Amino acid sequence: MTVEIRSGVELPARREDIELHTDDGLTLVGELALPLEHPPVATLVCLHPLPTHGGFMDSHVLRKAALRLPALADLAVLRFNFRGVSSPRGTSEGAFGDGIDERLDLDAAMRLVAERELPSPWLLGWSFGTEVALQGGLDQPVVGAILLSPPLRRTSDEQLARWAGSGKRLVAIVPELDDYLTPEQAAPRFAAVPEAELVAVEGGKHLWVGEPQVRRVLDEVVARVNPPAAPLPTTW
C-alpha cells in the first residue's frame, strides 16, 4: 500500500532513547533514529529553537526529519532537549543558558556521535539552535552546519567570520518572510563567509508551517548531506 508522506507519518527506523552527559554534570534526554536495515551514510545533529519560546527536540521540522530521513535518505538523526527543556521524551537537567552553556550540550551530543561512530556529522540548527551551531560548531569534527531561519542575534560578525576558510560548509536557509532576518538582511552578514551558501525560500516563514515548507526545508537539507537522495519522494 502506498502512503502519502504528510504531517505525522512515521517511516520505519531503528529508534533509541538516549542520554547525553555534559561536562558540567547534567544529563540530557534525546533520541537517535537510524536507518532500519543498514548503516547511515551521514548524520544530522539537531539543535532546536529557543526554549523560552517553546522550542524543544520535537519542534516540528526536526521531528519530521527524524520520522522521515532515516528511511528516505539513509541518515542518522540525533535530537535532544537542551538543558532545562522538557518534551514527551522527558526533561533535560539544568536551566536555560542563553546559548552559552548550551555549547556544553553540543559537546555532549558530539561525544555520542563519536562513541557510536556515526558518519559524516552535520549540525542542523533552527533559529536559536543556529546560534549554538555557529558559536560551537567550529570546534567540532563536523562536515558543516545547516542553519534554518538564523536570527544572528547572539552571533557577532566576528564569530561568523571565523567560519571563513575553515573548511567546514555553511548553509543558511532563510525564509523570505522571516520575522527576524530576511534574505536581504542575511546577505551582508553572511558575506563575511564567502564560501557560505545562502538559500532564500520564497514565501517561507520563520516557523516553516505547512507541509510544502517542511518538504522544501528537508529537500534542501538532504541535497547537501546526501545529494543522491534528493529530492525526497512524497509517497512511501
Q: What is the pLDDT of residues 86-136, one digit of tens each?
A: 999 999 999 999 999 999 999 999 999 999 999 999 999 999 999 999 999
Task: Name the amino acid, one letter, at 115.
Answer: E
- 8 A C-beta contact, residue 126 and residue 171: no
- The answer to the question of residue 1 being in a domain is no
| Average pLDDT in the chain | 97
Domain CATH number, residue 84: 3.40.50.1820
Give percent above pLDDT 70 in the chain: 100
Confidence of residue 63 (pLDDT cuts 50, 70, 90): very high
- The answer to the question of residue 198 being in a domain is yes
pTM: 0.98
If phi > 0 it is left, if psi is from -120 to 50 it is alpha, else beta; for residue 47 that is beta
Distances (CA, A) of 25 to 17, 51, 77, 81, 177: 19, 20, 24, 15, 40
- The answer to the question of residue 236 being in a domain is no
- The answer to the question of residue 8 being in a domain is no
pLDDT above 90: residue 7? no
pLDDT above 90: residue 65? yes
- The answer to the question of residue 176 being in a domain is yes
How many structural domains compose the chain? 1
pLDDT above 90: residue 159? yes
Give percent above pLDDT 90 in the chain: 97
- Please calculate the CA angle 198-202-203 and round it to the nearest 5 degrees: 130
User: Could you give the CA distance from residue 7 to residue 132 in angstroms, rounded to a whole number?
Assistant: 27
pLDDT above 90: residue 235? yes
What is the arithmetic mean of pLDDT over 24-32? 98
Q: What is the pLDDT of residues 168-216, one digit of tens each?
A: 999 999 999 999 999 999 999 999 999 999 999 999 999 999 999 999 9
- The answer to the question of residue 68 being in a domain is yes
User: Could you give the CA distance from residue 152 to residue 139 in angstroms, rounded to a whole number?
Assistant: 19
Structural domain range at position 210? 14-229
Q: What is the pLDDT of residue 176?
A: 98
pLDDT above 90: residue 8? no
